[in-house]
Structure 1
Amino acid sequence: MASTVVVTAVLSVGSTVRSADAGGFGIPEIGVRRTAMASIIGRPDDPSAIYHNPAGLVLQGGWQLYVSCGLSLLDTEFQLRPWAESDRFLGASAGDDGYYTRVKPSRAFGVIPMLAATAEILPGRLVLGAAIYVGNATGAAFEESAVTRYHLIDGYVVAPQAVVSGAYRINDAISLGASVGVIHLRVHGKRNVFPVFMGNDLSTVIGTRAELELDGSGWAPTWMIGAFGRPHPRVTWGATVT
């Protein structure tokens, strides 16, 4: 009877599965000027403006080729609270503070590449551009014996994008720009399955180290509208909608 209840519960959960929705997936450290300014919209005076404010492309003269590659090293750690039956299957006990020992990932980093090109079509007025970049390529891994193994052993998010952009200078006080493109999102996660489900101990059926690997991918359109201007030789402004 117990096995029937478990199977029914698992099937009922499976029947509710649907497509997942997600958003974001951006690392702000694209563009040397923007990163150095620690701003969401930096002074868009290089082709990386395609990423953070396409209207700034009007600052590009002639033909420009831009290549960059960044590396982010993540310094993080996790400290978990015990949950029902966790001590038994983890073979660990919480400390005096009520938490398990802190765990740092064995690997955690991200890469931030970008290739962009711009061309001044109408001198002083119209600039077009195109870029391929990865707004997020970040992953982390934990030891398979760590107390985090029922949450995450290995995972990553990779989201490359390809876009085309254009900008037009109306006058010194205002320029308008826009970009359209496509993003290809890939997500991976691997962990152990905790052998207690809805109060039922399944360890005699699946063991204590059953692995669950989840992989997903999808395509989606991207767009951005931007504005930029220099109403005074000492004053510039910018704004974007995405």
Structure 2
Amino acid sequence: MQSDNVAGNDDPLVVVSGVNKWYGEHHVLKDINTTVARGEVVVVIGPSGSGKSTLCRAINRLETVQEGEILIDGVKLPEEGADLAKLRSDVGMVFQSFNLFAHKTVLENVTLAPIKVRKMKKADAEARAMKLLQRVGVEAHAHKMPAQLSGGQQQRVAIARSLAMDPKLILLDEPTSALDPEMINEVLDVMIELAREGMTMIVVTHEMGFARKAANRVIFMAEGAIVEEAAPDEFFTNPRTERAQEFLSKILHN
């Protein structure tokens, strides 16, 4: 599953060093240190309130941090302005709530950023968008409005929209948590295919089956800290920490 490093570059794509974040008195991220290699799929799991989504959003600077630094492809996260916009064009983000523009068609949703940000010609953007919509299995709905699609279809459009920018990295923050159970697998199938193709992904999820099947590494967080990191087989069969053992006993046996 691990893809070849781009142009022989062995440097990690993402480096998180000494990151701390507080909301007032609440310490939500505690001394976070981790790296993500090119082509690696990292799944972040843990109980609610453990800081998973905050970490995911901090990597795209949707959340600011008070201490530490985050590097994407060797470049420190910009504070604001054009540099931050460029970073966000290179780092795709898929949210649990889809965030599609309700007044634009599926095709318009997917082509908007490539035309506006990448300055792609409309015809080229639409041709690429149709290929991506086909890839995620919703090309037949290209001219519909988002409200005409199921939740699972909308989330697959959101993934296509993220891919349309040809990102170096995709962050997925609980992408299936707002879906009906029967729609979850259709989104997970797309994510598994992306993982197989070598897309670098950081995925916050409660879907342990996806973690087992598609992840190179599992990060387990609790109370704002990374408690354990391991390959999926190792983590799920032989967690080292008591906190991880307790978490897995609840979710795998209920």
TM category (shorter chain) comes to under 0.3
> In proportion to residue count, which structure has more strand?
1
TM-score normalised by the chain length of structure 1: 0.23
Larger RCO, structures 1/2 (Cα 8 Å, 6+ apart): 2
TM-score normalised to structure 2 length? 0.22
